[in-house]
Structures are given as C-alpha cells and as structure tokens.
C-alpha cells in the first residue's frame, strides 16, 4: 500500500445513519479537527462542544470543570465523541499541571456521561478518548485490550478517565474507550517536534533505543474512530495503534531513510526529560501495544508500516 492511495475504511454493520448529528468535544485538537473534517465530508453534522458562548447552532456550551453541559444541545445526536483533555506534552509536569491533565479528562468525561444517561433519547454510541498510557511500561511484552493497567501517573489517570464513562455505559449506551497510541502527524503531538529535529540532521536514537513505540498514522486514527462509531460489535477498550509496534531505534532508522538525513547521534534520556518535559515519558517508556479488537473485527490499516506512515504525515495537505 502506498501513501498516495489509502483505501477507505471497510464498510461496517450498524453504521451511523446518513446525515447524523455527532457531538464532538475536543474538536480543535489534532485528532478532533481531523475527525470533524472527515465526518462533515461524509454529510454528517458536527456539533462542537465549546467553553465560550456558542456562535451558532453548530456549537453547544459546556464547562467540564464545573460539571455543566447544555444537554438540550445534545438531544438528537446519534453519537458523541469526547477527545477533550489538556495536552500531555504541552508543558512540564508540575503538580498543578498533572492535576489539570487528570481533571480535564475525568471531570469532562463524567459531565458528558451523566448528561447522556439522562437524555430521553440517548445517542447510539459514546466514544471516549483514552490512551495507551493505560498499560504503563510493558518492556518488550506485547499487550492487547485484555491486559491490566500499569503503574504510575498516566495509568492511574487512564483508569479514572475510563471509569468516568460509567453512567453512559450503565444507561445502555454502547461505550468505546479509544486507547490511542503515538499519532504520527506533522501538525501536532510528538512528531511535530521530531520532524524538525530529524530534518536538521540532529535526530538519533532516544535513550536506549530499545523502547517500543506504538504509533498510528493520523489517517488511520480517524478511520479507526469512524469505525468504532459504525461498528456495533465494538465496545469497551479498543487500542488505536498500528499492528506492528517498533523500537525507537528502528523508527529512528526509518526516519533517516524517509528524510534522507543521518541519525548517528543518540539523545540521552536525561536531556530529553529536560527538553520535552512530560512528553519525554511517552518517548522513553516502552509500550508494545497491539490493536487486537480492531484486527479481529476486520478493520484494515491504510498505513500499517512506519515508512508509509511517515510519508503520509509529510505529504502536502489536500
């Protein structure tokens, strides 16, 4: 499969009806904005949750910190997707910022779950963001959705984040927990910082290089989210990662080949922690995460390999 001709996601049973209303929290983020474009291209109406006064009928006000959302604006939505949360790599992890990482996910999710459970006609499906950080450090051990949570700050956040969907699940709403890996995109996330470094010829293996990176292209991330919306058999945790995680050293070599730059100078882990703050945890932690549920249900990745994934990310928009 080439980066120039990705196949569409496969058709799925229980697809959203044509012209559905889909409520989306986190619509301004990397993944949320791409998902909104995809849904709108296919004729769905995206209702964006915003923290300011709405500017039109396509926006619904909410205040996740205060536990408030305009539930009337959610009425008639066939699906709700929550991707809201403070960026894990946005700044250094002070105690106050760690609290914001946790609260922005757990409180927002709880607010939405309660509101959806109380609707007279709840949505068909609630897709809530989560992260492969749920599994913590796995070394070279491969894990799928059946694995227990790891130890540490991010696993504990993910456990609370996912548990906050409880009211929706208990109300009978099909609830999907989208445990996303490292999204490869030049517009945001880890690769927005890595691509310039490697283009300048300053990229190299990071830390030991033996740590596994479970990546996914932005195209496949959006396709997988769309697939979870459409596929009625999917619920609970679903790993959104490419099928063959690679070590940092292997990905470093691929970056060098694709960008035609040397990758000879390793970057010590201590320097990464200083330069990248909380994002260094994603880069130095080994997480070998497999998308078992997606594969078993028939999902096809457009970019299963790292080189096509990198080329897709670097391709001009449009």
Q: Say which residue the tokens 């030049």 belong to.
A: 186
Instruction: From 317, 318, 178, 182, select the one nearest 255 (Cα to Cα).
Output: 182
**Angstrom distance (rounded) from CA 247 to CA 257:** 16
CA dist., res. 94 & res. 6, Å (int): 41
Hey, what are 266's tokens? 């390793």
Percent of the chain with pLDDT over 90: 77
Q: Is 57 exposed, middle or buried (0-12, 13-18, 19+ CB in 10 A)?
A: exposed
This prediction's pTM: 0.92
List pLDDT tens digits, range 94-135.
899 999 999 999 999 999 999 999 999 999 999 999 999 999
CA dist., res. 249 & res. 209, Å (int): 5
Q: What is the pLDDT of residues 167-215, one digit of tens each?
A: 999 999 999 999 999 999 999 888 888 899 899 888 888 888 999 999 9
CA 288 to chain centre: 16
Residue 231 lies in a domain: yes
Beta-carbon contacts of residue 288 (< 8 Å; ≥ 6 apart): 138, 139, 140, 141, 142, 143, 212, 214, 245
What is the pLDDT at residue 5? Answer: 47
List residues bridging with 206 in a β-sheet. Answer: 267
Kindly state whether residue 213 falls inside one of the protein's structural domains: yes
167 in any annotated domain: yes
> Which domain covers residue 264, as residue numbers?
21-313
Residue 88 binned pLDDT confidence (cut-offs 50, 70, 90): confident
How large is the angle between the packed helices 306-314 and 218-230, nearest 10 degrees?
A: 100
In a domain, 8, yes or no: no
Average pLDDT over residues 279-307: 90
CA 170 to chain CA centroid, Å, is: 24
The whole-number pLDDT of residue 12 equals 43
Q: Is residue 10 part of a domain?
A: no
Nearest Cα neighbor of 186 from 104, 258, 262 is: 258
- What pLDDT is recorded for position 273? 57
Count structural domains, the chain: 1
Residue found under tokens 């939505």: 77
For residues 130 and 84, what is the distance between their CA atoms, to the nearest angstrom?
10
- Residue 16 covered by a domain: no
Q: Is 183 within a domain?
A: yes
CA distances from 113 to 26, 57, 118, 151, 193 (A): 15, 22, 9, 26, 34
What is the CATH number for 247? 3.40.50.720
| Residue 87 falls inside a structural domain | yes
- Dihedral of alpha carbons 95, 97, 99, 101, sign: negative
Q: How far is CA 68 from the centre of its chain?
A: 24
Query: Residue 305: exposed, middle, or buried by beta-carbon count in 10 A (0-12, 13-18, 19+)?
Result: middle
As a whole number, mean pLDDT of residues 256-285 equals: 71
């Amino acid at each position: 499969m080439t980066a120039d001709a990705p196949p569409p996601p496969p058709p799925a049973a229980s697809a959203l009806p044509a012209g559905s209303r889909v409520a989306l929290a986190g619509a301004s983020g990397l993944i949320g904005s791409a998902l909104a474009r995809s849904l709108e291209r296919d004729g769905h109406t995206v209702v964006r949750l915003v923290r300011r006064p709405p500017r039109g009928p396509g926006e619904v006000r909410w205040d996740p910190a205060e536990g408030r959302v305009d539930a009337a604006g959610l009425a008639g939505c066939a699906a709700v997707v929550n991707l809201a949360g403070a960026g894990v790599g946005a700044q250094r992890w002070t105690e106050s910022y760690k609290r914001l990482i946790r609260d922005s996910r757990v409180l927002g999710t709880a607010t939405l779950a309660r509101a959806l459970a109380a609707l007279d006609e709840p949505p068909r499906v609630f897709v809530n963001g989560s992260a492969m950080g749920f599994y913590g450090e796995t070394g070279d051990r491969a894990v799928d959705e059946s694995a227990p949570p790891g130890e540490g700050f991010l696993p504990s956040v993910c456990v609370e984040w996912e548990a906050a969907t409880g009211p929706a699940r208990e109300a009978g709403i099909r609830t999907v927990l989208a445990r996303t890996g490292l999204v490869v995109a030049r517009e945001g996330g880890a690769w927005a910082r890595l691509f310039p470094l490697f283009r300048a010829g300053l990229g190299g293996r990071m830390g030991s290089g033996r740590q596994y990176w479970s990546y996914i292209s932005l195209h496949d991330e959006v396709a997988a989210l769309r697939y979870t919306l459409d596929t009625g058999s999917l619920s609970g945790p679903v790993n959104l990662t490419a099928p063959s995680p690679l070590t940092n050293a292997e990905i470093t070599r691929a970056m060098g080949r694709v960008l035609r730059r040397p990758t000879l100078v390793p970057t010590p882990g201590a320097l990464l922690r200083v330069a990248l703050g909380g994002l260094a945890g994603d880069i130095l932690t080994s997480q070998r995460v497999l998308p078992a549920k997606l594969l078993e249900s028939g999902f096809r990745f457009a970019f299963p390999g790292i080189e096509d994934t990198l080329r897709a990310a670097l391709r001009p928009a449009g």
